[in-house]
Structure 1
Amino acid sequence: MSPPLLDIRHIYLEPGVEAYARGQEILARFPDAQRTEVRSHQNIPGLHGNAGLVKEWVRIKRQVLVLGVRKTFALRENGRSADWIAPGLANGCALACAYCYVPRHKGFANPITTFVNTGDALRALRRHAEKLGPKPEPNQVDPERWVYDIGENSDLSVDALLSGNVRDLVALYRELPNAKASFATKYVNRDLLGYDPAGKTRVRFSLMPQRVARVLDVRTSPMRERIAAIGDFVEAGYEVHLNFSPVVIYEGWTADYTELLREVRDAVPERARRQLAAEVIFLTHNEALHEVNLGWHPRAERLLWRPEWQEAKRSQYGGQNLRYRYGFKGKAVARFTELLARELPECPVRYAF
């Protein structure tokens, strides 16, 4: 039997966490966990920036939890996966996908950080939506409503194992007439089927061929389980899209994606297939993450780090990224969208790059 996804044994918490009902709720779930008060969730001595912990990458994700109080609630315009990126109620993840960009900003340990001042976030999101008013015209994100990505830096299906934050977010957008929520996930949490989203939350199930997912999507739900959940989530009132991100190029990738798309076509009920749409994002890797991965999962880098197909590009944050070469990538994007149109014609592409 595989170990549980979460087995919280050590909780780092900022001052004031216990003053919030959500903080009390989470602490009560793990009464035997060691507690250490820290000044900031963003810089925990001995945890963040400790290169010696890279070998403990997965153990820390399973056993460590950070609780904080979010200080700012700024929103960012997006235009791709959503109209707006919402201030998240969590950061970091118990999953261990080898390509995830979040660890680049957190040093050598990336457990879940959960924010307990849920009410502050909900009020900020409500004010923002009310100020926007009706969406003036359709766009590729959504034809009718403003869409808020509520899970940019975490996986909300996993966050829902810890607290009621995700349920509260789904309830908020159920009430907002001009807005809907959206989040991508690689984990099937069937408790979400009881949240009554009323069509106002979009779940984007991330898919990739299982052969490479076994290497790259560490600690996630198997692809077959994700595909099987699509119809159930549609029946429960969610809008469900497909998130092909990242698309990783390797020898035989098109044959593997053809098989994956046929599995979706055969396993997903017609009603659910008719409401699908897809976003397609090819891999962007990072030099710093490459070094981290070499410390705990070098096998993944044989898929992710392919300099013969990649070119360097300086990120907006100053890091050294590797993306598939211009021209090479364009042909790959065209090939993928052709495959999708052929094998799953009910599923339009919202954007691909």
Structure 2
Amino acid sequence: MTNLDLFPPAPPPTTGPLEHLLKVSRVYLEPDVERFTRGRDILARFPNAERVEVRSHWNIPGLFGNEGNAEAWNRIKGSTLVLGVKKAMSFEANGRSADFLPPSTANGCVMSCAYCYVPRHKGYANPVTVFVNIEQVLAAIRRHAGKLGPKTEPNPVDPRYWVYDLGCNSDCSADAALSDNVKDLVRLFTVLPNAMGSFATKLVNRELLAYAPRGKTRIRFSLMPHAQAKLLDVRTSPISERIAAIDDFVAAGYEVHLNFSPVVVTEGWQAGYDALFQQIDDTIGDKAKEQLAAEIIFLTHNERLHEVNLRWHPKAEELLWRPELQETKVSQGGGVNVRYRTGYKGRLVEEFQQLLARRMPYCRVRYAF
């Protein structure tokens, strides 16, 4: 059974960075969404969209549990918006991309990167969900940072500030085109003396240049070789556009790092990354280079996501699912993940860092695995 007929043709495009990615024809919303100003603001942006009230943003009949939706993966992403109220205000210690993962203000994405881990928990569709109770999230972060006090010992995340990853379940550059949630978060950190925000992105949203972050938000532009990105980074900004934006975001007051993630091993991958490093070095200016750092994350894939991808993007799986190079690891949640084999992966990580150091010796590596 397919579900294509349940997703009507989209209305004329909205304006802004999502103009060609999201044309909302249906909004699923929890009962309390319209009690919040942010919920009413978002709904006002899509006055002609059909509204469907649901009990939970995680449990939408006909959407997440419908196996036939896998074939309509991108159509659903491009026409569907989910609005919910964030219930749990919990914080998770991280230690890699950030010190802490705060309550998320969105889940899912309008883009369709084939390796994204978020869909593993949703099933056969992954439209973006925006949480409308932003004031409660902001208050939770203020309380959490206040209890921490100053960061007295530097660590690989940051030497001065406690860092909160704002986009571990979504892409904040895309979220910012749907609501002011991201703007509110960026401005919050400008007044927190001991903390900063951070997020990785694959979309160049120049509206963020006007947010005045004052050095208290770190953007990590995700990069991979162009040929891989054309196949795997579906519905994202081109790699060249992301690189070209780095200087502008530094000038606007952001700390800009690079996120080499995921590193996907293919025949001749070294040449692809060598060319990428050379392009970055040729493009960015001295100010960007002086503050540059990177994180390096080799691919971890997932059995359930592999099965979904085979239904909408099988060519991507030719690169992502490589049993001859990978080994199984069962996650804490019981999911069957695969990663490059122990020992082999260690050699890959070392080779990657040597390539990076040769072309971009000024780029500090915050962590690599």
In the superposition, the TM-score normalised over structure 2's length comes to 0.95
Alignment deviations for residues 217-258 of structure 1 (CA, whole Å, 9 cap, x no partner)? 000000000000000000000000000010000001000000
Residue in 2 that maps onto 1:86: 102
> 325, 328, 334: which is aligned to 1:309?
325
Do residues 228 (structure 1) and 232 (structure 2) align?
A: no
Residue in 2 that maps onto 1:241: 257
Shift in Å at residue 33 of structure 1?
Answer: 0.3
Alignment deviations for residues 101-160 of structure 1 (CA, whole Å, 9 cap, x no partner)? 100101100000000000000000000001100001100000001000011100000001
Residue in 1 that maps onto 2:6: none
Q: Distance in 1 between matches of 2:284 and 2:191?
A: 29
Secondary structure of residue in 2 paired with 1:241: strand
Residue in 2 that maps onto 1:65: 81
Do residues 96 (structure 1) and 104 (structure 2) align?
A: no
Do residues 136 (structure 1) and 152 (structure 2) align?
A: yes
Higher deviation after alignment, 268-277 or 232-241: 268-277
Alignment deviations for residues 167-213 of structure 1 (CA, whole Å, 9 cap, x no partner)? 00000001100000000000000000000000000000000001010
Alignment deviations for residues 63-121 of structure 1 (CA, whole Å, 9 cap, x no partner)? 00000011111000011000001111000000000000100101100000000000000
Residue in 1 that maps onto 2:360: 344
Do residues 31 (structure 1) and 47 (structure 2) align?
A: yes
Residue in 2 that maps onto 1:184: 200
Secondary structure of residue in 2 paired with 1:321: strand
Whichever residue aligns with residue 340 of structure 2, its letter is Y
Q: Distance in 2 between matches of 1:107 and 1:305?
A: 19
Secondary structure of residue in 1 paired with 2:208: helix
Secondary structure of residue in 2 paired with 1:126: helix
Q: Distance in 2 between matches of 1:139 and 1:297?
A: 39
Q: Distance in 2 between matches of 1:33 and 1:217?
A: 28
Aligned pairs for 1:204-215 (under 5 A) are: 204-215=220-231
Residue in 1 that maps onto 2:347: 331
Q: Distance in 2 between matches of 1:77 and 1:112?
A: 24
Q: Distance in 2 between matches of 1:165 and 1:3?
A: 19
Do residues 290 (structure 1) and 306 (structure 2) align?
A: yes
> 8, 22, 31: which is aligned to 1:6?
22
Whichever residue aligns with residue 313 of structure 1, its letter is K
Q: Distance in 2 between matches of 1:211 and 1:82?
A: 29
Shift in Å at residue 3 of structure 1?
Answer: 7.3
Whichever residue aligns with residue 189 of structure 2, its letter is Y
- Between the two proteins, what is the percent identity of the paired residues? 64
In the superposition, the TM-score normalised over structure 1's length comes to 0.99
Residue in 1 that maps onto 2:66: 50
Regions of 4+ moved over 4 Å: none
Residue in 1 that maps onto 2:15: none
Structure 1 residues 3, 133: closer, same or farther in 2, change over 3 A? Answer: closer
Q: Distance in 1 between matches of 2:270 and 2:286?
A: 24
Whichever residue aligns with residue 125 of structure 2, its letter is A
- Compute the RMSD of aligned alpha carbons: 1.1
Shift in Å at residue 327 of structure 1?
Answer: 1.1
Whichever residue aligns with residue 207 of structure 2, its letter is D
Secondary structure of residue in 2 paired with 1:175: coil
Q: Distance in 1 between matches of 2:326 and 2:251?
A: 41
Secondary structure of residue in 1 paired with 2:301: strand
Secondary structure of residue in 2 paired with 1:56: helix
Q: Distance in 2 between matches of 1:117 and 1:314?
A: 34
> 77, 83, 90: which is aligned to 1:74?
90
Residue in 2 that maps onto 1:163: 179
Secondary structure of residue in 2 paired with 1:124: helix
Residue in 1 that maps onto 2:335: 319
Residue in 2 that maps onto 1:117: 133
> 288, 292, 314: which is aligned to 1:276?
292
Secondary structure of residue in 2 paired with 1:182: strand
Q: Distance in 2 between matches of 1:175 and 1:322?
A: 41
Residue in 2 that maps onto 1:265: 281
Where do 5+ consecutive residues of structure 1 fail to align?
A: none
Shift in Å at residue 4 of structure 1?
Answer: 1.0
Alignment deviations for residues 281-327 of structure 1 (CA, whole Å, 9 cap, x no partner)? 00001111000000000000000000010011111110111100111
